[in-house]
Chains A and B, each alone.
Chain A
């Protein structure tokens, strides 16, 4: 996209701005009645004529420029420039030269098809010229302002690419004159006016990180710090950028490869951020007036451990924001089967009572779909929006939003409470994108709740050092201790399959579990080991229904259901079933427990499949491996320590 760059000077101060619909800007700056009317309709404070000085001087660059270039000029514009036209020319030329000369070598960035291509000299094409009159092309102030107001409220709390914003406005019937096909040209003026009045923030979807003040001074002294690009939507840095020739802006333009599946975020593409309206401030005062609950209501039916943890979180939420500009974080370190979902219900209730909006994000789509009816049942009066790839409610707004974690990128300071489930799971395992997304979707004064049975080491350390507010839920909802894994030494699965038969100890314990009527999970590391092992086990236990599954299995969902219904008694599987699956009365056998694909988090999650139901709380868990590893020891240590804490707090019922 190309935009028009201009400078508006009023008194001795000036400001550089770029526009996606310049006729609106000319009317706004040069026609005082238009500006007053627009401000009145949009609900901004209207200053009385005395305070406003004369009509400002507007000097525009004659040719539209690539968005990224215009944004960079605007960011660097010295507010005290005297010769506006000359200063603008010099700055545009400087930025063009910098982009053409230096950026190819930006660290880690990949380039495609740019060699030997003639780059058009943007500078040569344009010049600075004064704009004297508002254009007749602009719509009447009150009509346009009404549309801008509507668009801004619909986009509030969102972070959308231009195509997404267009789709949202179209879905809400706010894209343009009724009946006409939604076109960008019909939407742009309304968005531009909303941006001028501060209700939207328009920026490049991929843009340089803002320069620290110190570097700005260095630049004035002649230094040229290398700008580092960042995807403003997903937070990825230059390593995930690819620079290609772009027909939309006519320059070599970077796009982000990391979030490509969500639509392309590019340097010359818009990212539209919906800013809070002045009405939001009123909501905040409402929050302060209503009393904050500090205990979960008994109607939620929580166990003592759950209630204590929830009370701690409610206390944290009620404490109010400090002077921080980023949302505060709170970690729920809850064992597998602790009943995490029930514990967050009171938090959501508290958030809604204060007139806030809540978001629950979880990495997997099936969990979102499973959670949806539970949330709707718990909060029958709230508007619930469920978001995932291909969701019908994609552009709706609600009190409670349920979403897959990828959808976080489409929001900007939209929520007072953000709950992120399974923070250590795909796609966020060791991923800096999570932090970025979580901080971004939450209002600065809001609260981020992180849920995990196996928080990553970094968070555990922060919690231990007191840098991260947290609570542990050391016991399951049924108030029995976690099954402690038993370590056994047998050869690796590979070696086992090379020889006939199976190790006697393994057979004996499998037989024992089958005899006691349990459902058996058998975890292996490699997909290729699943089928041979199923064959071997079927021969060893004729008459028992045995099957295997993996990520490559199209029948996986059906097999899991059959396993849950006891149609299959023994299921050989990979880490794909390590989380989220609850099967009553199950025992867990982990083969190759010493393998490098099973880290301590993975082992704890797999062990967590056993003993989840009230009727059979003491399932059996075995770690089979050829060696004792650090991961196994750490997993067992963590399970034991949770049991110890539960006992000490009197949460166990014996």
Chain B
């Protein structure tokens, strides 16, 4: 009798254990946060950023107010006043380049965690929609962007890193907003990382740094239905906007190439970047 009762107890314990462990399996569990890896499911997740936990989402330093209408900086901006020969209309950025974004971008760019692309791309998409709404409001018509142009990285960097972050962000945006991406710029020489340089050095260094591939630019023009095109609007894509020298150099190269190919076509070039430093 005693042995059968102990058997019964064992069976009871077994079923209890099995059911309690399978109950854990059945509990809804949010996937771990793409940045911090936490599986915290208590704070609700944002619809557009399901890959982030509530805590990390709260850290995104969105730019909600602009001070400089040219570069979209959230504070007073000396660079845009000093710059001559600005070849672009304006820049808009999704977020400030604060320590949080610096870390996320470092994880993505230098450590190669390409799993962060959807997150960063979605941030770009938010900024893109804001930019279109703003432009449409000021010009009283629905503004349409005809193509995305990623800022190129040097061949050396591309081989080392395996990808061009601007091109990846551009591709993501192209996919989510149904736009075309034209990879028509290239670097004329290898330059050191911009982040190690002063403003003056950056400006000198970026002069004539980029050139547009004329064949590719011509092919791009062909792909537009040029009859109905009154103004060509292109959007240059990059990850960080600091002094604007890189973006401006790209815009200059692009404007020159388009001028030589289609002198009569008015071109307006805009810049969209992930972070404004």
* Residues in A neighbouring B162, C-beta threshold 8 A: 244, 246-248, 253, 264, 266
Nearest B-chain residue to A1, judged by Cβ = B159
Contact of A110 among B112, B115, B168 (CB under 8 A): B115
Distance between Cα atoms of A245 and B181 in the complex (Å): 16
Asked if residues B117 and A264 are in contact (CB atoms below 8 Å), the reply is: no
Asked if residues B111 and A264 are in contact (CB atoms below 8 Å), the reply is: yes
Given A246-B162, A246-B163, A247-B159, A113-B115 contact (CB < 8 Å): no
* Residues in B neighbouring A248, C-beta threshold 8 A: 158-160, 162
Distance between Cα atoms of A247 and B183 in the complex (Å): 14
Q: Which of B164-215 contact A (CB under 8 A)?
A: 164, 168, 171-172, 175
Q: Which of B60-117 contact A (CB under 8 A)?
A: 111-115, 117
User: A260 interface residue, CB < 8 Å from B?
Assistant: yes
Asked if residues B158 and A247 are in contact (CB atoms below 8 Å), the reply is: yes
User: A47 interface residue, CB < 8 Å from B?
Assistant: no
Task: Indicate with 1 or 0, residue by residue over A248-279, a CB within 8 angstroms of chain B CB atoms.
Answer: 10000101010011001010000000000000
- Size of A's binding interface in residues, CB under 8 A: 19
Given A112-B117, A113-B117, A113-B172, A244-B111 contact (CB < 8 Å): no
Contact of A244 among B159, B160, B163, B172 (CB under 8 A): B163
Identify the interface centre among B114, B115, B158, B160: most chain A CB within 10 Å of its CB.
Answer: B114
Asked if residues A260 and B117 are in contact (CB atoms below 8 Å), the reply is: no
* Residues in A neighbouring B111, C-beta threshold 8 A: 260-261, 264
Distance between Cα atoms of A247 and B114 in the complex (Å): 13
Shortest CB-to-CB span from A409 to chain B, Å, is 15
* Residues in A neighbouring B158, C-beta threshold 8 A: 247-248
Asked if residues B163 and A245 are in contact (CB atoms below 8 Å), the reply is: yes
Asked if residues B112 and A255 are in contact (CB atoms below 8 Å), the reply is: yes
User: A242 interface residue, CB < 8 Å from B?
Assistant: yes
* Residues in A neighbouring B175, C-beta threshold 8 A: 115-116
Nearest B-chain residue to A269, judged by Cβ = B162
Task: Indicate with 1 or 0, residue by residue over B147-161, a CB within 8 angstroms of chain A CB atoms.
Answer: 000000000001111
Asked if residues B163 and A242 are in contact (CB atoms below 8 Å), the reply is: no
Interface SS of chain A: mixed
Q: Which of A94-111 contact B (CB under 8 A)?
A: 110
* Residues in A neighbouring B161, C-beta threshold 8 A: 247
Asked if residues B168 and A113 are in contact (CB atoms below 8 Å), the reply is: yes
Distance between Cα atoms of A246 and B160 in the complex (Å): 10
* Residues in B neighbouring A247, C-beta threshold 8 A: 158-159, 161-164
Task: Indicate with 1 or 0, residue by residue over A546-557, a CB within 8 angstroms of chain B CB atoms.
Answer: 000000000000
* Residues in A neighbouring B17, C-beta threshold 8 A: 630
Interface SS of chain B: helix
Nearest A-chain residue to B155, judged by Cβ = A247
Asked if residues B159 and A260 are in contact (CB atoms below 8 Å), the reply is: no
Contact of B112 among A116, A245, A264, A630 (CB under 8 A): A264
Nearest A-chain residue to B168, judged by Cβ = A113
Identify the interface centre among B17, B112, B162: most chain A CB within 10 Å of its CB.
Answer: B162
Distance between Cα atoms of A112 and B111 in the complex (Å): 16
Task: Indicate with 1 or 0, residue by residue over B33-65, a CB within 8 angstroms of chain A CB atoms.
Answer: 000000000000000000000000000000000
Given A247-B164, A266-B162, A257-B171 contact (CB < 8 Å): no
Shortest CB-to-CB span from B103 to chain A, Å, is 13
Shortest CB-to-CB span from B244 to chain A, Å, is 26
Asked if residues B159 and A242 are in contact (CB atoms below 8 Å), the reply is: no
* Residues in A neighbouring B164, C-beta threshold 8 A: 247
Q: Which of A617-634 contact B (CB under 8 A)?
A: 630
Asked if residues A257 and B113 are in contact (CB atoms below 8 Å), the reply is: yes
Distance between Cα atoms of A88 and B112 in the complex (Å): 34
Shortest CB-to-CB span from B113 to chain A, Å, is 6
Asked if residues B163 and A260 are in contact (CB atoms below 8 Å), the reply is: no
Distance between Cα atoms of A116 and B111 in the complex (Å): 26
* Residues in B neighbouring A116, C-beta threshold 8 A: 175
Nearest A-chain residue to B118, judged by Cβ = A112
Nearest A-chain residue to B112, judged by Cβ = A264
Shortest CB-to-CB span from B258 to chain A, Å, is 25
* Residues in B neighbouring A110, C-beta threshold 8 A: 115
Task: Indicate with 1 or 0, residue by residue over A35-78, a CB within 8 angstroms of chain B CB atoms.
Answer: 00000000000000000000000000000000000000000000
* Residues in B neighbouring A113, C-beta threshold 8 A: 114, 117, 168, 171-172
Shortest CB-to-CB span from A249 to chain B, Å, is 8
Asked if residues A260 and B171 are in contact (CB atoms below 8 Å), the reply is: no
Shortest CB-to-CB span from A552 to chain B, Å, is 11
* Residues in B neighbouring A261, C-beta threshold 8 A: 111
* Residues in B neighbouring A266, C-beta threshold 8 A: 162
* Residues in B neighbouring A112, C-beta threshold 8 A: 114-115, 117-118
Shortest CB-to-CB span from A154 to chain B, Å, is 23
Distance between Cα atoms of A113 and B169 in the complex (Å): 10
Distance between Cα atoms of A253 and B112 in the complex (Å): 13
Nearest A-chain residue to B17, judged by Cβ = A630
* Residues in B neighbouring A242, C-beta threshold 8 A: 114-115
Task: Indicate with 1 or 0, residue by residue over A604-645, a CB within 8 angstroms of chain B CB atoms.
Answer: 000000000000000000000000001000000000000000
Nearest A-chain residue to B116, judged by Cβ = A112
Distance between Cα atoms of A260 and B117 in the complex (Å): 15
Distance between Cα atoms of A257 and B117 in the complex (Å): 14
Shortest CB-to-CB span from B75 to chain A, Å, is 29
Shortest CB-to-CB span from B135 to chain A, Å, is 27
Distance between Cα atoms of A242 and B118 in the complex (Å): 13
* Residues in B neighbouring A245, C-beta threshold 8 A: 163
* Residues in B neighbouring A253, C-beta threshold 8 A: 162
Shortest CB-to-CB span from B69 to chain A, Å, is 33
Shortest CB-to-CB span from A259 to chain B, Å, is 11
Identify the interface centre among A110, A112, A253: most chain B CB within 10 Å of its CB.
Answer: A112
Distance between Cα atoms of A257 and B118 in the complex (Å): 16
Nearest B-chain residue to A163, judged by Cβ = B160
Asked if residues A260 and B112 are in contact (CB atoms below 8 Å), the reply is: yes
Shortest CB-to-CB span from B106 to chain A, Å, is 12
Distance between Cα atoms of A247 and B165 in the complex (Å): 11
Shortest CB-to-CB span from A343 to chain B, Å, is 35
Contact of B114 among A115, A244, A630 (CB under 8 A): A244
* Residues in A neighbouring B118, C-beta threshold 8 A: 112
Identify the interface centre among A113, A115, A242, A246: most chain B CB within 10 Å of its CB.
Answer: A113
Distance between Cα atoms of A266 and B162 in the complex (Å): 10
Nearest B-chain residue to A2, judged by Cβ = B159
Nearest A-chain residue to B113, judged by Cβ = A260
Distance between Cα atoms of A246 and B112 in the complex (Å): 11
Shortest CB-to-CB span from B219 to chain A, Å, is 14
Nearest B-chain residue to A268, judged by Cβ = B162
Shortest CB-to-CB span from B70 to chain A, Å, is 31
* Residues in A neighbouring B168, C-beta threshold 8 A: 113
* Residues in B neighbouring A257, C-beta threshold 8 A: 113, 115
Shortest CB-to-CB span from B166 to chain A, Å, is 12
Distance between Cα atoms of A389 and B149 in the complex (Å): 39
* Residues in B neighbouring A255, C-beta threshold 8 A: 112, 114
Distance between Cα atoms of A62 and B115 in the complex (Å): 35
Shortest CB-to-CB span from A257 to chain B, Å, is 6
Distance between Cα atoms of A244 and B114 in the complex (Å): 8
Distance between Cα atoms of A247 and B112 in the complex (Å): 13
Distance between Cα atoms of A82 and B175 in the complex (Å): 49
Nearest A-chain residue to B24, judged by Cβ = A596
Shortest CB-to-CB span from B99 to chain A, Å, is 15
Task: Indicate with 1 or 0, residue by residue over B224-268, a CB within 8 angstroms of chain A CB atoms.
Answer: 000000000000000000000000000000000000000000000
Identify the interface centre among B17, B113, B164: most chain A CB within 10 Å of its CB.
Answer: B113
Distance between Cα atoms of A248 and B159 in the complex (Å): 4
Known: A112-B117, A260-B112. 13 other contacts (CB 8 A): A110-B115, A112-B114, A113-B114, A113-B171, A242-B114, A244-B163, A247-B162, A247-B163, A247-B164, A253-B162, A255-B112, A255-B114, A260-B113
Give me 25 A-to-B residue pairs in the complex whose CB atoms sit less than 8 angstroms apart, sorted by A's number: A110-B115, A112-B114, A112-B115, A112-B117, A113-B114, A113-B117, A115-B175, A242-B114, A242-B115, A244-B114, A244-B162, A244-B163, A245-B163, A246-B162, A246-B163, A247-B162, A247-B163, A247-B164, A253-B162, A260-B111, A260-B112, A261-B111, A264-B111, A264-B112, A266-B162
3 shortest interchain CB distances as A-B pairs = A264-B112, A247-B158, A246-B162
